[in-house]
Amino acid sequence: MALQHGQIALSLAQSNGGYRMECDARDTLAHLETFVGHRTAGRAHAQEAQRLARICGDLWREACGIYQEALCLMSLGQYQECMALTIRGRTILGQCGLSHGQTNYMLMGIQAEVHKLKSEYVEAHNIRSQNLQATANDNYQQAHALMNIAEIEILMGVSKTKIQKKIEASQVIRASRNAVLDTACEALQADLNLRDGDLSDLLFCKCLRLTWGKHSEAVSYCLERLADINRWEQSHHPTSWAAVFLANSLKAKERLGIHTALQFLGDVFLREDDESTAISLFTLALEGFTQMDVHRSRAECMIRLGDISNKHGDLLRALELWETARPLFQCSSQAKRVQHIDERLVGIGEDVKEQHRRNLARLNTYIGKLEKVDENSSSELFSHCLTVDLL
């Protein structure tokens, strides 16, 4: 219904010949199309809105069109292009003296969100903190900024007490109740509780009931937490959530969500001892995360693949994967994960050295035998020697 009304508004604007009216109508349609998952159509409307704004010389409307296109690109996982677009939009706003306006803060919000999705949590936290300071007179924006900061701090491993204060402050600061923000607060609370060992899924399920079919971002947030079996006790939690998360991400055409769901399904198959399927899923997810430059998720897939390689005696492959994962965890502020990798590297380093010593000893034994046998048999022993797996 909303899309139909948007199309009617666009037709009226086009018939009246007003560029600014058509620009506004296309911005609205871009938002609606993106909201229902039609990112390509949404982006086309946003780009046309920018073109019309340039014809009018309307910098603010051009920046609004950039904001809508950036939202589409973010959903499509095209983070580099999205960030370049937001920088351009903020530059345009600076040129017309609107650096402290709402549109600029919205573009900053996209920049923070992209940093968060790429697991660049420090950068995301810094931008959200700037937004918090800049919107001191707007209770709704203050509440929203506090929740965004709380979400990032959960991912960074900040203490529960500090995060709890932000969640509670976001509830108190609002002058009136807001169903969307209330549900978002409950989802954050559930995530914080889960991180600190409370394995109840009641709050997540409640949030799903309230937001299903109404707020796609909240649905994806809850499903992603429910789908990650590594955060739940094996006997406590159904593995089917990973499949539900994948189906929802495919329907919404959320590129990052799709690859995250594939990673979680890999964990499910790995738990069921189906290593072949798990390896395929981790490899597929890793390719997507690498293309999107999502540091933490790349590292997690590498850890899984490294563990499997180590289990089957491929120490060099495990070492390569773990060493590559280490700086990715550093980029995403995962100090504990870095420490765990360091412990693994120390252990596997000793294993590699020991295997190398054994191989050298075997080689010396073969060389000694070569000196004692006749010329005919020496070639056979030498060929066998070459098959030794030297590390």
| pTM score | 0.85
Cα–Cα distance list, 151 to 69, 179, 317 (Å): 25, 18, 35
**Cα gap 248→216, rounded to integer Å:** 9
* Predicted local confidence at residue 386, as pLDDT: 46
* Predicted local confidence at residue 374, as pLDDT: 52
Report the candidate in 216, 242, 219, 220 with the shortest Cα–Cα distance to residue 231.
242
Query: Which class for 312: exposed (0-12), middle (13-18), buried (19 or more C-beta within 10 A)?
Result: exposed
Q: Give percent above pLDDT 90 in the chain.
A: 58
* Predicted local confidence at residue 236, as pLDDT: 67
Q: What angle, rounded to 10 degrees, do the helices at 39-56 and 59-75 form?
A: 160
* Predicted local confidence at residue 367, as pLDDT: 66
For 97-111, write each residue's pLDDT tens digit. Answer: 999 899 999 999 999
* Residue in the block written with tokens 């920088």: 87
45 band by pLDDT with thresholds 50, 70 and 90: very high
* Predicted local confidence at residue 382, as pLDDT: 44
Can you give 179-195 as a three-state secondary structure string? HHHHHHHHHHHHHHHHH
* Predicted local confidence at residue 355, as pLDDT: 67
What is the third-level CATH fold of 1-117?
Answer: 1.25.40
Contact 150, 166 (CB under 8 A): yes
For 324-380, write each residue's pLDDT tens digit. Answer: 999 999 999 999 999 999 988 887 767 666 765 676 677 777 766 665 655 555 455
* Predicted local confidence at residue 388, as pLDDT: 45
* Predicted local confidence at residue 351, as pLDDT: 67
Q: What is the distance, to the nearest Å, from the Cα of residue 289 to the centroid of all Cα atoms in its chain? A: 8
User: For residue 390, is pLDDT > 50?
Assistant: no
3-state secondary structure of 88: helix
List phi, psi (to 5°) of 80. Answer: -65, -45
Q: What mean pLDDT is reported for the chain?
A: 87
For 50-83, write each residue's pLDDT tens digit. Answer: 999 999 999 999 999 999 999 999 999 999 999 9
Query: Mean per-residue pLDDT for 22-38?
Result: 85
Higher pLDDT, 141 or 248: 248
Q: Which of 2-16, 18-32, 125-139, 243-257 shows the lowest mean pLDDT across its residues?
A: 2-16
Q: Which of 67-71, 118-122, 143-147, 229-233 shows the lowest mean pLDDT across its residues?
A: 229-233
- Residue 135 host element (H or E): none
Tokens of 66: 């950039």
Contact 346, 334 (CB under 8 A): no
Cβ contacts of 61 within 8 Å, gap of 6 or more: 20, 23, 24, 27, 49, 52, 53
Torsion over CA: 50, 54, 60, 61 (sign): negative
3-state secondary structure of 76: coil
